[in-house]
Amino acid sequence: MSLFRRRRYTDLEVSISEHIAEAVEELMAEGLSRKEAELAARRSFGNRTLIEESSREAWGWTRLESWWADVGYASRQLAKNPGFATTAVATLALGIAVNATMFSLVSAFLMPRLPGKDLARVYALSSVNPIAGDFAELNPVSAPNYLAWRSHTDTFSDVAAVNDYQSAGLTVNGQAESIRYSAVTPNYFGLLQARPALGRTFAKDEDVPGRNHVLVLSYALWAGRFASDAGIVGRTVRLGREDYTVIGVMPEDFRLLGFVPQLWTPLTVTAADRSAAARPDRDLYLFARLAPGVTPAQARSQLSALARRAEIEYPSSERRWGASMQALPEFLIRNFGIRKSLVVLMMTVSFILLIACANVAGLLLTRAARRQKELAIRLSIGASRMRIVRQLLTEGLVISLFGGGAGLLLAYAGIALLRANLSFNEAVNAVPIALDRKVLAYAMTISVVSALLSALTPAVKSARSDVNAGLKSETRGASADASQSRLRALLVVSEIALALVLLTGSGLLIRGIFQLEHQDLGFPTDHLLTATLKLDAAQYQGPAEERLFAKKLLTRLQQLPSVSNAALSSDLPGGDPSSSSFLIKGERENLTDAPPTALDVVVTSEYFEATRIPVLRGRVFTSADEANAPRAVLVNQEFARRFLGGRNPLGIQLKLSGKHAANTWSEIVGVVGDSKTDSEDVRIDPEIYEAFAQHPTGSLCLLLRTVGSPEALISSVRRAVAEIDPELPLASVATMRQFVEHNRRGNPLFVRILGMFALLALIMAAIGIYGMVAYSTSQRTHEIGIRMALGASRSGIFRTVLSGGLKTAAIGSAAGAALALPLPRVFDAMFSGIQFGAPIVYLVVLAVIVCVASAATCIPALRASKLDPAQCLRVQ
C-alpha cells in the first residue's frame, strides 16, 4: 500500500475514532453511564465498518484493493480445501483444454492469415454453378468470362487469374519429379501485395509467349529441392521438358488457405482461350480489387448483369450460370470447406465446457451450503450482499483461471497431438496450427465466462440466504434448504440433458460417417499399388503415341517380378472420374435438355483382373478391341439397373457425347460389378468403361496387383517409367489403402475426435451426477437415521434414494431427447449425401445415459442403506 494511501486511511480512522469518543463524552456529560453512552453514540453513528469502507471507496482504490484481498482470501480458502480445489480446477481445465485445442483449428482455418495487409477491397470472383451444391457459388471461371469481367475497369481496377491445378515434371539433377504449380497472371502477386523473399515477381509482359518461361519458387520447394540456394535467381530449371528461368522465391508466410502450389508460372491467355469453345472450361480462380469508390453491391450487380448477358449470347455453355463475388477471407474459408466440421466440433466442446461448468457449479453450491454460517456472520457484521457475491465470484474466477492455466498446458499438448494427426492432405498440412494469440485470448475469455457460469448462481443464492436462519442453523445446516436442493436437481437435469444431446449428436455423426466409410467399395484394397502420370503434349502428340507409350509401359510392368496384373486407366477405382452424357440406340437417340449421364472411365484389358471388380455378364476388353475395331463398352450393374430396366444389356448400343468422345455407336459387351467412387455420399453411380485402345488418354493411372507388399515395388515401377522416358515423373505413388485413406479427407480423425469428446462428456456428467446425489444423500443422513429408527428397511432406503436420483435422470433424459430430436435434420442439411436419421442411436444413447445415471446414483444409495441408524442420529 502506498504511503499516501495509508495516510488517508489513518486520517479517516482518527477522525472517526475522535468523533465517537467526543460523542460518548458528551452523552456521559448528560448523565449516561459509559456503557450506555458508547452504545448510543455507536447507534447514532451508524455501521462504522460499512461507513469506513464506503469512505475508502470514495478514493477509488478500494475496488482493486478489496479485489486483491478477495483473490488472496479465495486462494487461501482453496488451499485449505485441496480436494475441492483440485476437482474443480481439473474439471474446468479439461473443459477449457478441449475448447482451446479445437479453437486452434478455428484460428488456423476460419481466421486465415492473408498475405498482404490492405486486402479489404480484394474480392474473389466466381461463377455460380446451376447445379446446387456446397461449392456451387465458388465455381472457377472460364477464360472468356475472365477477359469480359476484367475489361470492366470502372468496377474492378485489377483482376488476377489463377489456374491452380497444373502439374508437370520438374527435372533437377536428371531426376524428374511431379510437382503441382499454379499459372497466374503477372499481376497476381501485386494484387495480393506480396513481395518475394528473393528476386522479383512477374513483370507486366511476362505472359507473352516467348517471354513467359520464367517462374517463381515457393519457399518450401526452394528450401527442399534447391537446398535454400541463395544464388537460385537467374538459374535455369527444366519444367515439363522446357527451360525456365527462376526469377524469384516467395517468403514462407506467403500462403492462401487451400492453395498450395510449389511454384508459379505466368498464365498465358491464348487465342483459343478467347474463343466461345473455351467457355465450358471453367478452371480459373479470380481475385479482383474494386475500383476506387465502387461499393461491393455495385460490383455484384455489375457482375450479374455480365452473367445475364453471357447467358443470352452463349446459351449452350452459359445457360443458368451466374456470377458471384466474395470477400477474400470468406472465399478462402468456404472454398476450403472445413467450416461445417469445425462448427460441429466447436458445438461439441462448448457442450463439454457447459457440463464442466455445471459440475463446478454443483461443487460450489455444495461448498456454499457448508459455509452458510460463515457467510451469515459476514453479512451480520456489515458485509454488503454485493460484497459477498463478489467474493464468491472471485473464488469462481480464481478456480477458473487456474483451470484456464492448466487447460492451456493441456491444450498445448492437445494441439501438438492434433498437428501430428492432421496430415490427410497437403492443403491441410500447409496450414500452421499453433497456440497463437487468438487461441490464448479465446482461452482467457472462456475461463472468465465459465467462472461466471459456474459461480454466479451459487454466489447469488448464498448471498440471498436469510442471515438469521444461517446463524441459528446447526452445522449440518442447509439440509432443509429446499431451494438449494432444487437448484442441485436442476444442475443434474441440465447436465444429463447436455450429455444426452452431445452423445446423440456425435452418435448420429459417427454412425453416418461410419456408414460412408464402411460402404462396400466393390473391390479389395489390399495388394494394390497405384500411381499416376501425365503424358505431356510436348512429347506425346495424339492418340497413336499415347497408345504406344501405354503398350511399352504395360509390357515392362507385367515383366516386373511379383506383379500379377498390371493395368492402366483414366481413373482409379474409388477415385473421382468425370461423367459423360450418352444416348441409347432405339430409345433416346436425340439430345434432349437433360441427357442421362454416367461416369466414364477408360481402362486397359487387365483392369478388372487387377482390381478384382467382378465381371457379371459378357466379357471384358481384349486385345481385339483395338483402335479400328467396332467400339465396345462395359457398364456396371447400377447402369443396367437405372437405364436399361430389366433388359439384357449385352448388345445395346450407346453413343457417348463427352468432349473427346468419338461420334460413333458403341456396343455393350459386358456388365461388371459396382464400385464406389470417391464422394461424400453413400451411393453407387452408374458407370461406363471404355477400352483404352479405342479412347486413349494422356492422364494415366497405374494399377498393379502385387504378390507381396505393394510398397516393395515402388522403386522398380519408377525405374520402369524412367527407362521409357527419363523426364516423365511418376506422381501420387500410393498403395490402394493409402489412396482410399487420403480420399476420406480426415473423416476418421473427425470420428475419433468426436468419439473422444462424447466419452469425455459422459464421464464428466457421470462424475457430476454422482457428486450431487452423494452430497444430497449425505445431507440426509440424519433423516435416514430417523426413518430407519422408525422401521424403514434398508432396501426401502436404497429404493428411496435411488428413485430420487432416477427421477432427476428421467427428467434430464426427456429434456435432452427432446432437444436432440431435430439433430438428424440439422445434420442432413449440413452434410448432404449421408442419412443421419437413426432411431437406434437415440435408444442406445438413452440406455447408456440411464445406465450411467443409475450407476452414479446407486453408489450413494447403497451407502445410505448401509448406515447405522444410531450413528446417523448422533450426526449433528
Partner 1 sequence: MSNSADRRDLFSGALELMILHTLRLKPMHGYALAKHIKQVSEDLLHIEEGSLYPALQRLLKEGLLEAESGVSAKGRPTRIYRLTGAGRRHLKREASSFDRMLTGITRVLAAAEA
Which spans of this chain sit near partner 1 (rule: CB under 8 A)?
8, 11-12, 14-16, 18-19, 21-23, 25, 44-48, 50-52, 54-60, 382
Cα distance between residue 126 and residue 190, in whole Å = 20
Give the residues across from 259 on adjacent strands. 256
C-alpha cell at 349: 466442446
Helix then strand count (H, E) for the chain reads: 30, 22
- Smallest distance, Å, CB 389 to partner 1? 15
Cα separation values, 66 from 51, 179, 362, 379, 448, Å: 15, 64, 26, 16, 19
- Give the DSSP letter of residue 112: P
The H or E element containing residue 179 is strand 175-184
Give the residues across from 567 on adjacent strands. 703
Closest Cα partner for 368 from 223, 483, 196? 483
The alpha carbon torsion through 612, 617, 623, 624 (nearest 10 deg) reads -170
- Smallest distance, Å, CB 70 to partner 1? 21
What is the SS3 string spanning 645-692?
CCCCCCCCEEEECCCCCCCCCEEEEEEECCCCCCCCCCCCCCEEEEEC
The H or E element containing residue 253 is none
C-alpha cell at 463: 448471498
User: Residue 482's CB: how many other CB atoms inside 10 A?
Assistant: 8
Q: Which CB, 51 or 714, lies closer to partner 1?
A: 51
With 0-12 CB in 10 A as exposed, 13-18 as middle and 19+ as buried, what is 581?
middle
Q: Which CB, 12 or 521, lies closer to partner 1?
A: 12
The H or E element containing residue 387 is helix 385-421
Burial 164-198 (b: 16+ CB within 10 A, else e): bebbbbbbeeeebebbbbbbbbbbbbbbbebebeb
Cα distance between residue 628 and residue 719, in whole Å = 32
- Smallest distance, Å, CB 22 to partner 1? 4
Amino acid at 561: P
- Smallest distance, Å, CB 30 to partner 1? 14
- Smallest distance, Å, CB 17 to partner 1? 8
- Smallest distance, Å, CB 342 to partner 1? 51
Angle separating helix axes 482-517 and 437-463, nearest 10 degrees: 150
- Smallest distance, Å, CB 50 to partner 1? 8
Q: Which CB, 11 or 330, lies closer to partner 1?
A: 11
Cα separation values, 557 from 552, 590, 692, 714, Å: 9, 43, 17, 11
Span between the terminal Cα atoms of the chain, in Å: 44
With 0-12 CB in 10 A as exposed, 13-18 as middle and 19+ as buried, what is 297?
exposed
Q: Which CB, 241 or 385, lies closer to partner 1?
A: 385
Chain center to CA of 139: 22
- Smallest distance, Å, CB 380 to partner 1? 9
Q: Which CB, 465 or 781, lies closer to partner 1?
A: 465
C-alpha cell at 74: 479465495
- Smallest distance, Å, CB 18 to partner 1? 4
- Smallest distance, Å, CB 51 to partner 1? 4
- Smallest distance, Å, CB 383 to partner 1? 10
C-alpha cell at 219: 519457399
Cα distance between residue 226 and residue 224, in whole Å = 6
Closest Cα partner for 768 from 503, 504, 501, 491? 491
CA angle, residues 331, 334, 335, in degrees to nearest 5? 80
Q: Which CB, 16 or 844, lies closer to partner 1?
A: 16
* Longest CA span, the chain: 134
Closest Cα partner for 127 from 335, 337, 334, 324? 324
Q: Which CB, 377 or 409, lies closer to partner 1?
A: 377
Q: Which CB, 391 or 706, lies closer to partner 1?
A: 391
- Smallest distance, Å, CB 35 to partner 1? 19
CB 383 within 8 A of CB 396: no
Write down the residue that cell numbers 505472359 correspond to: 207
Q: Which CB, 60 or 822, lies closer to partner 1?
A: 60
